[in-house]
């Protein structure tokens, strides 16, 4: 297990690990035990500016490499990440809190983006368009957009980084990266892996630090051509506004408010098992996790019984303990948000079927009991906003049309889930759901080979899949006149 010394440099610019220019540091703590892990460098706009300069400088050499050359670095990063899986998972759990089994799965997922885009780098094809003029030849050429700024959250501190870095590097872009302040050590280790993989200086630069000053620098910097962000809709909006003057390209993975719909013809055991997995994975801190569950009236009693019986089996504790199912929330603010949604619901008439309070167990950290609510209504926060915590509201519905309307009645549109054994119903409902991702009898849609992304206020663009690399390129159209003999 990696032990960190009292201070860890988390700024990496032009191939050199360095202190913040301000000399400021920030404490990283374990959210289960509240123990200090290490202090890290806390940069600002000066570090952010230097990082852009390094990335700009490195761009021409990196984008000038062949696709095969770039893909070799990504294959090497993939191999190194797999080799260091256990160590990375332990670091991730220590600073983020999720159970080790989930951290290991996240490292596998994070590595898979390096592998997928090592392959896709070689398939970034252009196009020849049949011309309507016999004296012309028309072509479309994909070219890397330039310097990319990546801003990432703490909930998936490894995969949210590689999901951005891998396609950016494959396309020929260079990167400046700001990780979340809660989880800079996972970012530090991923950048170390890229360094070990032999990535030339300046191609990836890490600036842990103050979000507002770093964000301001990158939003207003003419050399930053794309901002790729995962986080709250509120900050996504702010980045759009701040980048508007320069008409910067944005790729945004924002908040969700995923409905789960359990129809009467579903396999109820599977529906209960997967609803539980979707809601309580990462203690409910996943942008695609179940935020509200609609159950057809005819199977309400049976489903609720199965689900609550499973919730009672979940064990809370430190993620580093192999038997833990649910770790802590990320911080005190997150506990307050869950408590606020719970209080609001109860005050408006909801009943608590299980859980319902902060967990006072063996650890002093940010724990909350897995909680199941019934008698919920549309007026409650929990039925309108992303809770990002272990709170599961259940509501009965009568028919298909009614539940589709309820599911779509939100400004968000990231992921939605349906449980049914009817092929007809599955297809019919899937087509009507206004979401970027629909899971049918499945709640784990995020894979490197498929395009992940939301509609409405859940974001812009896609990550993963063959589509994901196109966020990082500009398509140049070439019209060429050909002289006749
Ligand atoms: N879609 C998703 O996967 C996620 C959704 N969320 C949602 O957002 C809520 C709040 O979580 P929170 O961590 O505060 O999410 P934020 O959106 O605030 O943070 C995500 C990232 O953006 C950075 N950031 C914040 N403000 C700015 C800015 N002005 N300029 C540049 N970067 C900025 C953060 O840094 P810093 O923390 O230093 O401000 C962090 O690195 C959650 O409860 C959840 O509902 C949160 C995380 C992930
Ligand atoms: O919360 C997210 O944005 C990503 C989910 C990743 C996963 O399901 O592995």
Assembly ipTM: 0.97
Q: Round to whole Å and give the CA distance between 342 and 293.
A: 16
Kindly state which CATH superfamily the domain 7-254+458-477 is placed in.
Aldehyde Dehydrogenase; Chain A, domain 1 (3.40.605.10)
CATH superfamily, domain at 258-447: Aldehyde Dehydrogenase; Chain A, domain 2 (3.40.309.10)
Instruction: State residue 3's pLDDT score.
Output: 86
Which tokens is 402 given?
């009614």
Q: Are strands 204-207 and 11-13 parallel, antiparallel or unpaired?
A: antiparallel
b/e string for 120-154 if b means 16 or more Cβ within 10 A?
Answer: bbeebeeeeeeeeeeeeeeeeebebbbbbbbbbbb
Q: Residue 485: pLDDT band by 50, 70, 90 thresholds?
A: confident
* Location of each CATH 3.40.605.10 domain in the chain: 7-254+458-477
Instruction: Return the pLDDT at 474.
Output: 98
Q: Give yes or no for a contact between 247 and 279, defined as CB atoms under 8 angstroms apart.
A: no
Query: For atom 33 of ligand 1, which residue has the closest CA?
Result: 211
Residue 180 CB neighbour total at 10 angstroms:
22
Distance 286 CA to ligand 2 centre (A): 6
Measured from the alpha carbon of residue 335, the closest ligand is 1
**Candidate of 47, 208, 232, 248 to mutate for ligand 1, largest count of ligand atoms within 8 Å of Cβ:** 232
Task: Give the other-Cβ count within 10 Å of 446's Cβ.
Answer: 17
Q: What does the pLDDT read at residue 300?
A: 98
What share of the chain in percent tops pLDDT 70?
A: 100
| Confidence band of 2 (pLDDT split at 50, 70, 90) | confident
pLDDT in the model for residue 330 = 98
Reported as a single tens digit per residue, the pLDDT across 271-288 is 999 999 999 999 999 999
Nearest to 172 by CA among 250, 60, 285, 248: 60
CA of 429 to the centre of ligand 2 (A): 23
| Residues belonging to the active site | 253, 287
Q: Where in the chain is the domain with CATH 3.40.309.10?
A: 258-447
Tell me what the mean pLDDT of segment 16-34 comes to. 98
**Rg of the chain, C-alpha, whole Å:** 23
- Express each pLDDT in 88-131 by its tens digit: 999 999 999 999 999 999 999 999 999 999 999 999 999 999 99
Q: 400 C-alpha to center of ligand 2: Å?
A: 28
Confidence of residue 1 (pLDDT cuts 50, 70, 90): low
- To the nearest whole number, what is the mean pLDDT of the chain? 98
Protein residue whose Cα sits closest to atom 8 of ligand 2: 446
- Distance from the alpha carbon of residue 287 to the mean position of ligand 1, in angstroms: 12
CB 212 near ligand 1, within 6 Å: yes
Would you say the CB of residue 278 lies under 6 angstroms from ligand 2? no
* Residue 319 in tokens: 């993620």
The mean pLDDT of 417-439, rounded to a whole number, is: 98
Threshold 0.90, pTM exceeds: yes
Percent over 90 (pLDDT), the chain? 99
């Amino acid at each position: 297990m990696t032990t960190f010394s009292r201070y860890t440099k988390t700024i990496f610019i032009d191939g050199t690990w360095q202190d913040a220019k301000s000399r400021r540091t920030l404490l990283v703590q374990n959210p289960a035990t509240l123990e200090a892990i290490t202090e890290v460098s806390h940069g600002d706009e000066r570090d952010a500016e230097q990082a852009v300069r390094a990335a700009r400088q490195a761009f021409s050499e990196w984008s000038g490499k062949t696709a095969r050359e770039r893909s070799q670095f990504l294959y090497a990063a993939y191999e190194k990440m797999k080799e260091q899986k256990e160590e990375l998972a332990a670091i991730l759990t220590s600073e983020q809190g999720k159970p080790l089994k989930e951290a290991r799965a996240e490292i596998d997922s994070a590595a898979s983006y390096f592998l997928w885009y090592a392959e896709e780098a070689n398939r970034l094809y252009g196009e020849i368009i049949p011309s309507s003029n016999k004296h012309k030849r028309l072509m479309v050429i994909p070219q890397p957009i330039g310097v990319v700024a990546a801003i990432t959250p703490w909930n998936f501190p490894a995969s949210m980084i590689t999901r951005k870095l891998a396609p950016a590097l494959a396309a020929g872009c260079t990167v400046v990266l700001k990780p979340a302040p809660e989880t800079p050590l996972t970012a530090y280790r991923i950048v170390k892996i890229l360094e070990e993989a032999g990535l030339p200086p300046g191609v990836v630069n890490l600036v842990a630090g103050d979000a507002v000053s770093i964000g301001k620098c990158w939003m207003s910097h003419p050399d930053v051509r794309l901002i790729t962000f995962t986080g709250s809709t509120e900050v996504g909006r702010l980045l759009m506004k701040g980048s508007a003057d320069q008409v910067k390209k944005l790729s945004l993975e924002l908040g969700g408010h995923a409905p789960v719909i359990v129809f009467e013809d579903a396999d109820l055991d599977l529906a209960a098992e997967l609803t539980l997995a979707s809601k309580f994975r990462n203690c409910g801190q996943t942008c695609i996790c179940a935020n509200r569950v609609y159950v057809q009236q005819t199977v309400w009693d049976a489903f609720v019984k199965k689900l609550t019986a499973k919730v009672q089996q979940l064990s809370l504790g430190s993620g580093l303990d192999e038997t833990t199912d649910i770790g802590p929330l990320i911080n005190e603010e997150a506990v307050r948000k869950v408590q606020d949604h719970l209080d609001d619901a109860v005050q408006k008439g909801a009943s608590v079927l299980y859980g319902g309070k902060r967990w006072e167990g063996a650890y002093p950290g940010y724990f909350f009991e897995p909680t199941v609510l019934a008698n919920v209504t549309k007026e409650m926060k929990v039925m309108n906003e992303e809770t990002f915590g272990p709170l599961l509201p259940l509501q009965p519905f009568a028919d298909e049309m009614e539940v589709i309307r309820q599911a779509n009645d939100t400004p968000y549109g990231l992921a939605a889930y349906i449980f049914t054994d009817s092929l007809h119903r599955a297809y019919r409902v899937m087509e009507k759901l206004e979401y970027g991702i629909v899971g049918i009898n499945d709640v784990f849609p995020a894979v490197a080979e498929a395009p992940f992304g939301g509609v409405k206020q859940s974001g812009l663009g896609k990550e993963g899949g063959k589509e994901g690399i196109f966020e990082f390129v500009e398509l140049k159209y070439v019209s060429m006149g050909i002289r006749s003999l």
